[in-house]
Amino acid sequence: MTTEHLAEVIFRSSDPQDQRVGDIVSVVSSVPKMGGVACVVLGVPQHIGVERNHGRPGAARGPMEIRRSLYKLSASSMLDAILSGAMQLFDVGDIETTGKTLEQIHDELYDIVVDVISSGGIPIVLGGGHDIAWPTMHALITLRRQFGVVNIDAHADVRPLHDNVRAHSGSAFRQLLTIKNSGLVDKGLIEFGLQSVSVSAAHLKYVADNGGQVLMLDEIRDRGVFPSFRDAVDSIISSQMYVSLDMDAFASAYSPGVSAPSADGFTPAEIGQCLRHVGRQKNLAAFDVVEVNPDFDIDGRTSKLAGVMIMQLLSGVAERTKLHH
Amino acid sequence: MTTEHLAEVIFRSSDPQDQRVGDIVSVVSSVPKMGGVACVVLGVPQHIGVERNHGRPGAARGPMEIRRSLYKLSASSMLDAILSGAMQLFDVGDIETTGKTLEQIHDELYDIVVDVISSGGIPIVLGGGHDIAWPTMHALITLRRQFGVVNIDAHADVRPLHDNVRAHSGSAFRQLLTIKNSGLVDKGLIEFGLQSVSVSAAHLKYVADNGGQVLMLDEIRDRGVFPSFRDAVDSIISSQMYVSLDMDAFASAYSPGVSAPSADGFTPAEIGQCLRHVGRQKNLAAFDVVEVNPDFDIDGRTSKLAGVMIMQLLSGVAERTKLHH
Amino acid sequence: MTTEHLAEVIFRSSDPQDQRVGDIVSVVSSVPKMGGVACVVLGVPQHIGVERNHGRPGAARGPMEIRRSLYKLSASSMLDAILSGAMQLFDVGDIETTGKTLEQIHDELYDIVVDVISSGGIPIVLGGGHDIAWPTMHALITLRRQFGVVNIDAHADVRPLHDNVRAHSGSAFRQLLTIKNSGLVDKGLIEFGLQSVSVSAAHLKYVADNGGQVLMLDEIRDRGVFPSFRDAVDSIISSQMYVSLDMDAFASAYSPGVSAPSADGFTPAEIGQCLRHVGRQKNLAAFDVVEVNPDFDIDGRTSKLAGVMIMQLLSGVAERTKLHH
């Protein structure tokens, strides 16, 4: 892990009346002892898996641009929780990716996620391509946590590995379902927001045949986004929960800077409410935000949206600590 | 008609587990015999009518860019219908427009639409300017079909012809209402989504005085977009239905690449639900998508939205064939 | 005030069947005698206050670009009210800002707002930075109007003056609340749409401690945007009402050209309905639209949205005159 380059993007307010996230985050060079509810930001600046999946490169710059926006945001919604010590926010920096294979990067990500969770923290992983979902799930499996997954995404990401061994940005949940069938995992995968124009019939069938659940965008809208999401979260309440947010789940009007933009999709209002709910859940084990591609962004719109969505989740975490006090 | 240039934009997946629209469309050089429910894509690559209406040129490239996006989309929602033979999708290419007047282009469009409908197909016409709505309506009149029209649009398009003879991108529904008063047509025109900032009081009055119905965007929102649309569709259930989608009916956040962008307007969620409903109706006679202007588009956002909207309609068609089996 | 440069942006239709706002606005070089309900557009082309608040410059071109879009819009929704004489629309031009300090500009704005209101008009002030809200409120105080304020904004704008004397684009409502505590004003400030990521905890507390009311975006959505807004308007029904619209209250998908874009925020549909309601209220004393920054706009999207929002308000005013006849 490396944190040296973070100084550039950690906004510090000079005004005690105007505390930003950059004022309250603790940059640490290794996973610290943690108390209360601790969230740990870490970045995976690569797009190797995107390129393998024939996507357009650029997501490697995602973690830095998300931080640039996140740390400038007001900390108001979690300031009390932070000041009371009930909640902590760390940034352990980025995995050093230069010159490494995707497999090496995934191994390091796996190690740090195991470390964060073992130490009592909730990893908030900044992608990078969606391939990084697998090392997180692998870590949960190793730690023998029973967990369910909610993947907020336009795509199913259940494509086969290349040559049966090489993961890519469209394969993470295939990796999960393959393992799942081995009996190692018994909790579900919920694919939330898939679009029929973005997923093949065979892949939809694959998810269903392997015990996953698909909630298509159109169905979700018919029932209401938040009620559908709340039910998804409720269905995994007895185990731990991992939530993955692919930024292409949003309509590209809101999220133009992604590897594969979606003409239709969720609004920030819809997903913000869902993530606040996620943050409130005691069983939240891990979260990530993936596929921000700053090369195609417009005036930082997508990075800002990623930052705002992380803050919705952190606000929920802060509320939870308040309820416990 | 010419199809030679289509190869560039017909995406073919190399993966049988990942069938795209480009894998199931049949490119044909003339209108074929058709069975089941057949949809026939055809393009009109021109913006002469837009220029006559003092709009900015660019829509000539619309048909190719819409195809580029449409044929890359997953075919999942209509794959069963296609494989069972209950539904067919053809592309008969573009009208050759080089060196022709708008009148000559309209005559050719009229001919091909007559041909498609006579052969049992549903034309899906890709504009080009909105002037292309008139040849389609003219074809329905010639074929002695009783029909009603739903025009999803920010504008009324009831401006007078230039010099009483030259049509343009803002005159198609004036042409209809003029004929309608002659007694040749007895079903209605419903203008859906007009914005008071985009239509003159005189033109609104013209529609009403000539038996058309106007549903303003603000009224539609007060009642709900889908309920309003469903009632519009129900009102013409006893005749055939032609639906025209002007992409400037969407807010320009979603649809920046159009001849005349609208700061406010529909969302993809709203119109997608309506078009799925259209596809399900047995009386659907013709559909078009007009005014995509790739010169002002952002990363293909508007072309993609046009493709996704066509797929919503095709999904509805596929559902209909399923209900019939 | 200067009006010489307006000719460039006042669109005049050559078609009596197609009356635009530019056809019905009266450009006047000083505040005229007014009858019926008169709305008076005036511009403040500067961004000195934005720069003082460390924002990006560009808003100085806002007034001209808003007019360019506004005057091209159809006048249909207020044509009857204008033709009957029940409603008037004036444009008194822009404050000459070249070579002046922000304080001098504010003094001139104060003078013209006093003049417009004293003459029976409703000022519609085009910013420029949000600092221009204070001279308008100062004018209302001087005129001894009891008034309440609804500020539609992502930010609270209650930052302290620089060196206790220099106002800026983030201080206008601090100036109000300071005066308010002096007993000069007894009606409320309602901050509508604030985002927790955009306002510090200390500033939220400041508003509450000084008798203001904060309605956060997330709360507003939970209750519904229009019901929340209507209640806010109702709460100040016994006094006059000043409404300020900061264009960064919209999600930047709709409103990219602003000084400080918001990844999340209101939609045009939501605020359009609110402003129509504002226009209908007899106690409307003043309105402004601020923070349009054309340097960051995309194909005029934000200027057009500002124009459309002004028309929503003017439509409400026109409805009101109709009810009175």
pLDDT tens for B58-113 read 999 999 999 999 999 999 999 999 999 999 999 999 999 999 999 999 999 999 99
| pLDDT at residue C186, as a whole number | 56
For A74, which of C198, C253, C261 is closest by C-beta distance? C198
Q: Report which of B252, B250, B275 is spatially closest to residue B265, judged by C-alpha positions.
A: B250
- Placement of tokens 């999207």 in the chain: C301
B165-183 pLDDT tens trace: 999 999 999 999 988 666 5
C221 has pLDDT over 80: yes
Phi, psi (rounded to 5 degrees) for A126: -105, 120
* Residue B151 structure tokens: 């025009």
Confidence of residue C185 (pLDDT cuts 50, 70, 90): low
Rounded to an integer, what distance in angstroms lies between the CA atom of residue B308 and that of residue B302? 10
Q: Give the pLDDT band of residue C325 (cuts 50, 70, 90).
A: very low
Structure tokens that stand for A61 in this block = 């710059």
DSSP C159: P
Give the residue among C260, C234, C265, C250 at the shortest CA–CA distance from C301.
C250
Give the model confidence (pLDDT) of B254-310 as tens digits.
999 999 999 999 999 999 999 999 999 999 999 999 999 999 999 999 999 999 999
Say which of B16, B308, B315 has its CB closest to residue A264.
B308
Residues in chain C: 325
Q: Would the CA dihedral through A237, A238, A241, A246 be positive or negative?
A: negative
3-state class of A81 per DSSP? helix
How far away is chain C from the Cα of B177, in angstroms, using its nearest Cα?
17
pTM attached to this predicted model:
0.95
- Specify the DSSP class assigned to residue C145: -
Give residue A182's pLDDT: 59
B213-216 and C189-194 strand pairing: unpaired
Instruction: Please check the confidence at residue A212 and state whether its pLDDT lies above 50.
Output: yes
Q: What is the ipTM of this complex?
A: 0.94
pLDDT for residue A144: 82
H/E run at residue C88 = strand C87-94
> Nearest C-alpha of chain A: how many angstroms from B264?
13
Report the pLDDT averaged over residues B225-248. 95
CB contact under 8 A, A77 and C198: no
Residue B184 clears pLDDT 70, i.e. is over it: no
pLDDT above 90 for B145: no
Among the ranges A184-198, C169-183, C189-203, which has the highest mean pLDDT value?
A: C189-203
Mean pLDDT for A254-272 is 98
- In this prediction, what percent of chain A has a pLDDT beyond 90? 85
**How many CB atoms neighbour CB C228 within 10 A?**
19
Q: Mean pLDDT lowest for which of A200-204, C176-180, C223-227?
A: C176-180
Query: CA torsion, points B277, B278, B281, B284, in degrees to nearest 10?
Result: 180
**Per-residue pLDDT at B317 exceeds 60:** yes
Pick from A137, A101, A95: nearest CA to A117: A137
Residues of C in contact with B199 (CB under 8 A): 74, 76
Residue B187 has pLDDT above 80, yes or no: no
**Does the N-terminal peptide bond of residue B148 adopt cis geometry, omega within 30 degrees of 0?**
no
Q: CA-to-CA distance for B109 and B95, rounded, in angstroms? A: 7
Nearest CA in chain C to B221: C269
pLDDT tens across B13-54, in order?
A: 978 899 999 998 999 989 988 888 999 999 999 999 999 999
Backbone angles phi, psi at A21, to 5 degrees: -60, -35
- How close B282 gets to chain C, by Cα (Å)? 33
**Band (B185; pLDDT cuts 50, 70, 90):** low
| Partner-chain residue, chosen from C18, C254, C300, that has the shortest CB–CB distance to B202 | C18
Domain count, chain A: 1
pLDDT of residue B179: 83
| Closest CB to B74 among A197, A253, A261 | A197
Three-state SS at B209 = helix
- Asked if residues A309 and A74 have their Cβ atoms less than 8 Å apart, the reply is no
Which token pair is A312?
A: 């919705």
Beta carbons of B197 and C272 less than 8 Å apart: no
Q: Which amino acid is at A315?
A: S
Residue A120: strand, helix, or coil: coil
Residue to mutate among A69, A74, A80, A273, with most C CBs inside 10 A, is A74
> Contacts of residue C253 in chain A, CB cutoff 8 Å?
251, 253-254, 301
Mean pLDDT of A148-169: 95
Which of A72, A79, A264, A308 to mutate: most C Cβ within 10 Å?
A308
pLDDT band at A325 (very low <50, low <70, confident <90, very high): very low
State whether C73 and B198 contact (CB < 8 Å): yes
In the beta sheet, which residues pair with residue B151? Answer: B191, B244
Q: How large a percentage of chain C has pLDDT more than 70?
A: 97
Contact flag A74-C197 (C-beta cutoff 8 Å): yes
pLDDT of A321 over the 80 cut: yes
pLDDT at B186 over 70: no
- Which chain B residues contact residue C299 at CB under 8 A? 252, 256, 261, 296
Name the pairing type of β-strands B284-290 and B121-127.
parallel
pLDDT in the model for residue B168: 95
Task: State the nearest Cα–Cα gap between A254 and chain C, in angstroms.
Answer: 5
User: How many CB contacts within 8 angstroms connect chain A with chain C?
Assistant: 79
CATH of the domain at C279: 3.40.800.10
**Selected residue of B262, B299, B309, B322 to mutate for chain A interface (largest A Cβ count, 10 A):** B299
By CB atoms closer than 10 A (0-12, 13-18, 19+), residue C112 is buried
Name which of A18, A254, A308 is nearest C197 (Cβ-Cβ).
Answer: A308
How many helical (H) and strand (E) elements, i.e. helices and strands, does chain A have? 12, 9
Could you tell me the residue range of the domain that residue B235 belongs to? 4-324
What is the mean predicted confidence (pLDDT) over B249-258? Answer: 98
Chain C from 212 to 231: CB within 8 A of any A CB:
218, 221
Distances (CA, A) of A236 to A243, A246, A270: 11, 20, 21
Nearest to C113 by CA among C86, C71, C142, C88: C142
Q: What is the dihedral of CA B154, B155, B156, B160, to 10 degrees?
A: -170
pLDDT tens for residues C74-112?
999 999 999 999 999 999 999 999 999 999 999 999 999
How far is Cα B58 from Cα B6, in angstroms, rounded to an integer? 19
